[in-house]
């Protein structure tokens, strides 16, 4: 396993499935859409949509379901279903709150999410993470969301730190591709069972002691 650099100057977090337990909300919504068209929804189908923007997920579902012209319609249905699921609340994932606070004590932190602003704000608020970041950026605020690098490049620019001096935390191959294209180091806690995306650090939870030790080392460097 590779490691994260101790001279990191900024940290950019994904949100869904990484900081906040919203991936279950998306799965419920996606399962309902597939079922309505007579298809099961399992790991193979989840891999088609995980980490994608609403627009891209709609297109992927439309292709899979044999309705290539209905991507926008399916994306709109997905948004409405996820909105309904998120209204019930979403909890922070293990270690998320602690790691965010440990990182922000040392370096600037941001969120770069492939969710639209509405869902991103709802997720962060529900998990008690609203206001914890210097900046946050959503898919509907850039021209090209993940896997394009724009969200990460925008976040690093706002934080005033070069991408190569920053670390991204991700849970999907789509997000990893975006972070890599932008030039960041990448820590990964996969949401999809069995997935092993490209990474500099790979773990099963943000609560792993190694991560808090790394963040604590950044804080000590800052004090010096």
Say how far apart CA 201 and CA 178 lie, in whole Å. 16
What is the spatial distance between Cα 12 and Cα 166, in angstroms, rounded to a whole number? 7
- 187 DSSP assignment: E
- Active-site residue, 16 included: yes
| Active-site residue (options: 14, 21, 171, 200) | 14
Q: Is 171 a catalytic residue?
A: no
Distance (Å, whole) CA 76 – CA 210: 40
Give the C-alpha separation, 203 to 153, whole Å. 24
Residues 59/70, Cβ–Cβ less than 8 Å: no
Strand partners, 167: 11, 185
Active-site option among 16, 70, 171, 200: 16
Catalytic residues: 14, 16
């Amino acid at each position: 396993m590779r490691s994260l650099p101790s001279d990191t100057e900024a940290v950019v977090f994904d949100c869904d499935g990484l900081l906040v337990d919203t991936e279950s909300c998306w799965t419920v919504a996606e399962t309902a859409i597939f079922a309505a068209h007579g298809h099961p929804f399992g790991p193979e189908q989840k891999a088609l949509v995980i980490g994608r923007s609403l627009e891209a997920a709609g297109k992927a579902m439309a292709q899979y379901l044999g309705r290539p012209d209905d991507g926008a319609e399916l994306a709109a249905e997905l948004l409405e279903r996820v909105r309904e699921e998120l209204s019930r609340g979403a909890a922070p994932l293990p270690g998320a709150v602690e790691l965010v606070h440990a990182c922000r004590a040392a370096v600037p932190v941001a969120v770069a999410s492939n969710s639209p602003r509405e869902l991103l704000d709802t997720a962060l608020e529900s998990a008690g993470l609203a206001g914890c970041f210097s900046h946050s950026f959503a898919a509907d605020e850039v021209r090209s969301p993940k896997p394009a690098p724009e969200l990460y490049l925008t976040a690093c620019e706002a934080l005033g730190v070069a991408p190569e001096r920053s670390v991204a935390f991700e849970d999907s191959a789509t997000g990893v591709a975006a972070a890599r294209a932008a030039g960041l180091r990448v820590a990964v806690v996969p949401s999809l069972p069995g997935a092993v995306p490209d990474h500099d650090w790979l773990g099963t939870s943000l609560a792993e002691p190694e991560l808090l030790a790394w963040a604590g080392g950044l804080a000590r460097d800052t004090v010096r």
